[in-house]
Amino acid sequence: MDGPNRVKTLTRCGMGPCQGRLCANPLTRLIADETGRSPDAVGALRIRPPLKPVLLMDYLAPETLPEGAA
């Protein structure tokens, strides 16, 4: 296995509810330890949007929000 993205393809690690925010660094360190390479040489999971979930109402103008929201 070449790196975290290859492991992700084969195992779906990084595709859960956290989208890799919790498992990406441990995965990189595990691959580095197993292959005898540095974490920098192993690389990281590719980041894909959304980087962090946001609420649609965060983008609405205050006057368009339902009463009691915000």
- Rounded to an integer, what distance in angstroms lies between the CA atom of residue 26 and that of residue 45? 11
Q: Tell me what pLDDT residue 56 has.
A: 81
CA angle 14, 20, 23 (to 5 degrees): 85
User: 28: buried, middle or exposed (CB in 10 Å: 19+, 13-18, 0-12)?
Assistant: buried
Instruction: Please tell me what DSSP assigns to residue 39.
Output: H
pTM of the predicted model, to two decimals? 0.65
Q: Tell me what pLDDT residue 24 has.
A: 92
* 49 has pLDDT over 90: no
Angle, in degrees to the nearest 10, between helices 4-11 and 24-35: 110
Arithmetic mean of pLDDT over the chain: 85
* 52 has pLDDT over 80: no
Q: Tell me what pLDDT residue 1 has.
A: 56
- Rounded to an integer, what distance in angstroms lies between the CA atom of residue 54 and that of residue 37? 36
* 23 has pLDDT over 80: yes
